[in-house]
Amino acid sequence: MTAPYPSGEQHAISFGEQTAVVVEVGGGLREYRVDGFDVVDGYAPEQLATAARGAPLMPWPNRLRDGRYRFDGVDYQLPLTEPAQRNALHGLARWSAWQRSQHAPERVVMTHLLHPQPGYPFTLGLSADYSLSAAGLKVVLTGRNLGPRPAPFGAGQHPYVRVARGLIDGARVRSPAALRLRTDGRQIPVGEPVPVRGKYDLRRSPRLGPRVLDTAFTGLERDPDGLARVVMTGPQRRVTVWLDAGFEHLMLFTGDTLAGAERRRGLGVEPMTCAPNAFQSGLGLRVLEPGEELTASWGITVEKP
């Protein structure tokens, strides 16, 4: 018997010069290429996914301080999956097997049934719908409450985006964010969002340079079509990550804490429906009633600059 890949079954889709690979483990986006260039800095099929590369983040994105929260009068404790900082990180579905529910040449839909467990005794139906078209890559994340009582919920995803090989320092980056969330030493937001200033103000497409970001933003300015756009520009291509109205928060991560060759190789552009630590702060948190669902979409387009 041949051992499976660390990320499980591989599901390839394509459209024109675009190709993508979505994986069984975590339902994540392992690869997205346009004209042979890896727009998403992913990982090989023989590798274990590192740093949440391409993973959907549900039922919460980012960090939850001490893994603790109080909901509907009950205190809950989740496993500390970022033990060095005593946080519960990036939800509960990253290392679970997801099932392929639909597959066409240009589209694949992955689903996962999240059963009740210690710290999160709620039942959710999760899905990640990936499709390619002339407009680029589109991803639709959905969480549906399948249980008999309300459930706290948030969603996000963690692609690393690039416009050239090598470090991301030479790219110009435009962010739509007018506000940022200040954080403590454990990267947990403190206080109210504040206006972006200095290195955090990317609204005029500055060169990224050596600036270090592991920062959550909100106050996203939207275009007339209702989408917020992060635009990354290099000599040969312009890559846009768009977020629909379901995503009110955004994380930008320059990858300075990553190991070896992965450091600053891609910009983490992470759409989030809620802020980090939302299970405690309530900032952007959704409470799904029985039968209710939350859907949010994001995607990537690639053009010549």
pLDDT score recorded for residue 89? 98
Terminal C-alpha separation, the chain: 48
Contact 57, 126 (CB under 8 A): no
Q: At residue 22, does pLDDT exceed 60?
A: yes
pLDDT score recorded for residue 305? 86
Q: What is the pLDDT of residues 36-86, one digit of tens each?
A: 999 999 999 999 999 999 999 999 999 999 999 999 999 999 999 999 999
pLDDT score recorded for residue 3? 63
Burial grade of 179 (CB within 10 A; 0-12, 13-18, 19 or more): middle
The pair of three-digit structure tokens given for residue 280, joined into one six-digit string: 């405690």
Q: What is the pLDDT of residues 235-273, one digit of tens each?
A: 999 999 999 999 999 999 999 999 899 999 999 999 999
- Give the Cβ contact number of residue 302 at 10 Å: 20
pLDDT score recorded for residue 271? 98
**Residue ranges covered by each domain of the chain:** 10-303
- The dihedral through the CA atoms of 247, 43, 166, 263 has a sign that is positive
The pair of three-digit structure tokens given for residue 130, joined into one six-digit string: 């990936």
Q: What is the mean pLDDT of residues 122-147?
A: 98
Options 3.30.300.130, 3.10.690.10, 3.40.50.970, 2.70.98.10; CATH of 10-303: 2.70.98.10
Q: What is the pLDDT of residues 75-119, one digit of tens each?
A: 999 999 999 999 999 999 999 999 999 999 999 999 999 999 999
What distance in Å separates the CA atoms of residue 271 and residue 246, rounded to the nearest whole number? 9
Q: What is the pLDDT of the chain when averaged over all its residues?
A: 97
Q: What is the pLDDT of residues 177-202, one digit of tens each?
A: 999 999 999 999 999 999 999 999 99
What distance in Å separates the CA atoms of residue 212 and residue 220, rounded to the nearest whole number? 20
State whether residue 91 is helix, strand or coil.
Answer: coil
State whether residue 68 is helix, strand or coil.
Answer: strand
